[in-house]
Amino acid sequence: MTRYLVGGAVRDALLGLPPGDRDHVVVGASVQQMLEAGYRQVGRDFPVFLHPQTREEHALARTERKSGRGYTGFMVHADPSVTLEDDLRRRDFTINAIARAEDGTLVDPFGGVRDLEARVLRHVGEAFVEDPLRVLRAARFMARFAPLGFTVAPDTLALMRQMADGGELATLVPERVWQELAKALRSASPAAFLRTLRAADALRAILPEVDALYGVPQRADYHPEIDSGLHCELVCDMAAQLAAGDDLVGYAALCHDLGKALTPADTLPRHLMHEQRGIAPTLAMSERLKVPAEHRELAVACCREHLNVHRIDELKAATVHELIARCDGFRKPARIDQLATVCEADARGRGGRSQAAYPQAAKLRRLQAAALAIRGDVIAATGVTGPAFGEALRKARIAAIAAA
């Protein structure tokens, strides 16, 4: 049997990026031979094994044939007769279909190295259209690689449009959509994820609440970029810059202005009450995608409170206390830090304002810290109990906020 390093480990090494998981494909071996060599089988749908020493994944070379609708409808064939090229042919993009032999030799039957050098994301073959998840994967790869200058090949984008128009995206289960979205939000440019899906006419099927923002105008004096969809893109990228790798902050940034799509046409380009209107679509999107509760709660808080944080200099101490309490910021202190980060991303995610100062974030954090410094045990030591204790703690925290 012959072993090759494949996929992302080869691609990222050629791009000079830090190595991630190392996956291997094994050619010319059977399940029995792998077990006899000490590998432990872990794959259910197809033969995947863990190396006895390194614990790295090793999969038998395999082919796939479409057998039904959606991304799960595949028949897998793996045996010693399957060649390395057969295995690489079933992969999604040419840059992921490069193998490295143990002596360092590259096996590149589909021109992946050439596409890496040209910074092009290109499908391997026509079988690309058989798996609708690949539309999302293309967008997610662009979220990671667009800052390196990557673009989607025109013929690949055409296939993605064909898949979107054919309704195949409706077969994707919410958990997989969220998985790809979360990875995109942890990447350098979540905006490229949105732009790629929109270019493929797929954003309206995947994230209709976000797609509805495009074409909705905002006041140019506050938003030089004018379009609400473009603002969403800028905010998502700014959030990725301020909180790199944090999909919790990223998701809240994505949702913060969803209410602008629901502004009555006769009030545009003003968006009165958009923070309240945005709660319903945020909840709807979170429910549909089965988003974790922590992400949903922060997104709703940011949607509801971001204008209050922007004008924190105008708020009374008691109002700041109520804001922190509404966000559960006394029980979960990190939430206020996250809210401050999303609000900074909102303020700086505007045309020409990426370097603008946002002192409100530091002020919100400072006022929360002052309130948290009030110790309940000190108040309890005075003999105050029951409802009176809660009121005394509230007043002490408000006084500390006022002093700060």
Q: What is the pLDDT of residues 250-309, one digit of tens each?
A: 999 999 999 999 999 999 999 999 999 999 999 999 999 999 999 999 999 999 999 999
pLDDT digits 0-9 by tens, 74-123: 566 777 888 999 999 989 999 999 999 999 999 999 999 999 999 999 99
Residues 6 and 102 in one domain: yes
Mean pLDDT of the chain: 93
Same domain, 214 and 346: yes
Q: What CATH number is given to the structural domain containing 143?
A: 1.10.110.30
362 lies in the same domain as 226: yes
Domain boundary among 118, 152, 185: 118
For residue 27, list its beta bridge partners.
2
Residues 28 and 4 in one domain: yes
Q: Is the pLDDT of residue 227 over 90?
A: yes
- Asked if 81 and 11 sit in the same domain, the reply is yes
Q: Answer yes or no: do 194 and 333 share one domain.
A: no
DSSP code string of 97-151: --EEETTS-EE-TT-HHHHHHHTEE-BSSGGGGG-THHHHHHHHHHHHHGGGT-E
pLDDT of 47 reads 81
State the virtual CA torsion across 213, 215, 221, 225 in degrees, nearest 10. 90
Whether residues 183 and 290 share a domain: the answer is: no
Residue 102 lies in a domain: yes
Q: Are residues 85 and 148 in the same domain?
A: no
Are 303 and 401 within one domain?
no
Can you give the pLDDT at residue 384? Answer: 78
- Give me the domain span that covers residue 388: 373-404
Note the pLDDT of residue 67.
52
In a domain, residue 125? The reply is no
Asked whether residue 123 is domain-assigned, the answer is: no
Rounded to 10 degrees, what is the CA torsion of 39, 41, 42, 44? 150
Of 173, 199, 225, the residue at which a domain comes to its end is 199
Phi, psi dihedral angles at 122 (to 5 degrees): -130, 140
Q: What is the CATH number of the domain that holds 33?
A: 3.30.460.10
Last residue of a domain, one of 175, 199, 223: 199
Q: How far apart are CA 399 and CA 388, in angstroms?
A: 16
- 170-184, 224-238, 331-345, 372-386: which has the minimum mean pLDDT? 372-386
CA angle 230, 213, 240 (to 5 degrees): 45
Q: What percentage of the chain reaches a pLDDT higher than 90?
A: 77
What's the total number of domains in the chain?
A: 4
Residue 68 pLDDT exceeds 60: no
pLDDT digits (tens, 9 = 90+) for 4-31: 999 899 999 999 998 778 889 999 888 8
- 127 domain-assigned: no
* Contact of 196 with 152, CB cutoff 8 Å: yes
Instruction: Examine residue 379 and state whether it is found in any structural domain, yes or no.
Output: yes
If phi > 0 it is left, if psi is from -120 to 50 it is alpha, else beta; for residue 8 that is: alpha
Q: Which residue has the higher pLDDT, 336 or 1?
A: 336
Within this chain, do residues 22 and 99 fall inside the same structural domain, yes or no? yes
Task: Based on the fold, state whether residues 75 and 6 are members of the same structural domain.
Answer: yes
The closest of 129, 204, 136 to 173, measured between CA atoms, is 136
Strand ordering across the sheet containing 40-41: 40-41, 48-50, 57-60, 23-27, 2-6, 99-101, 106-107
pLDDT range class, residue 135, cuts 50, 70, 90: very high
Does residue 126 belong to any structural domain of this protein? no
Same domain for 225 and 333? yes
Q: Which strand (E) or helix (H) includes residue 185?
A: helix 174-185
- The pLDDT-based confidence of 32 (bands split at 50, 70, 90) is confident
Q: What is the pLDDT of residue 194?
A: 98
Residue 226, classified by CB atoms within 10 Å of its CB into exposed (0-12), middle (13-18) or buried (19+), is middle
- Res. 38: pLDDT tops 80: yes
